[in-house]
Amino acid sequence: MAFRWELLGAFCCNNAPIGSFLGELFGWRSAFVAPAGLGGLALVVQLSNLPSMPAGDAAKLSTIIGVLMLRKMALGMLTFMTVFAGHFGFFTYLRPFLEIVTQAGPQMVTWALLIFGLGTFVGSSISGYLISRSLSAVMAMMPLLLAVIAVMLAQLGGTLLLDVTLVGLWGVAFGIIPVSWSTLVTTTVPDEPETGGAYLSRQPTWQSQWGAGLAGSFSVSLASRLNTWRVPPCC
């Protein structure tokens, strides 16, 4: 499990800075067209290489609901939702924060995003060891660490070295979280890995939308009151 998220962290080292670099060279549309092409290529490779597998037992609606009714599972998913919503709210405005508050140029923003990606790789790499020591402690402390970093950036942000360091630490903490939640699901519902995995895999998609949307609504509302937060146009 940790190895799978470690690979994801390795790709995160490159996707954000490459996207920023492409956007700076060819415009923001290129940062969307490039991953669309890679996604199509990945689909072709999967269709041509993955073997066909017989279908298992059909999932029942009662099973899907029953898994979520488990107290440990329900609380875990609720916490997972809030953590991912907060993360994507943070990540949506990371670049504007670095450009406006930190006064970082395009190259430094790219390096900051690369450091964030390296942080997620490091977090995924050490997650297995930390979880083996205490899963509950990891699940409690990593979201708390994200909250502390967010408050520090909001209150102390503006210094390049400090901001980039905190962004890197955010990446480390966030890299540990998906592995810990995956471990929770596999230990809570070991007899229903597909259903538990389905809940887990859908949460980042839902919460990236909610987190980014809520962050945008909050910043717009705050800007209308204080008239201090202005994001430069992207195109």
Tell me, letter by letter, the H, E, C secondary structure of 54-79: CCCCCCCHHHHHHHHHCHHHHHHHHH
Q: What is the pLDDT of residue 226?
A: 47
Beta carbons within 10 angstroms of residue 125's beta carbon? 19
Among the listed residues 228, 224, 13, the one whose alpha carbon sits nearest the alpha carbon of residue 101:
228
Q: What's the predicted TM-score (pTM) here?
A: 0.67
Mean pLDDT for the stretch of residues 103-128: 84
Please compute, for residue 134, the number of CA atoms within 13 A of its CA located in the half-sphere on the CB side.
7
Q: Measuring CA to CA, which residue among 126, 108, 127 is closest to residue 116? A: 108
- At 231 the pLDDT is 47
Is 189 in a helix, a strand, or coil? coil
Length of the chain: 235
pLDDT digits (tens, 9 = 90+) for 62-75: 677 777 777 777 77
Yes or no: say if 189 and 196 are a contact pair by the CB < 8 Å rule: yes
Longest alpha-carbon distance in the chain: 59
pLDDT digits (tens, 9 = 90+) for 151-197: 899 888 888 899 999 999 998 998 888 888 878 777 777 776 667 66
Kindly report, residue by residue over 184-233, the tens digit of the pLDDT.
777 777 776 667 666 666 666 666 666 566 666 665 555 555 454 444 54
Task: Quote the CA–CA distance of 24 and 109 in Å, as a whole number.
Answer: 11
Distance CA 61, CA 27 (A): 45
Question: Domain 2-50+59-226, what fold?
Answer: Growth Hormone; Chain: A; (1.20.1250)
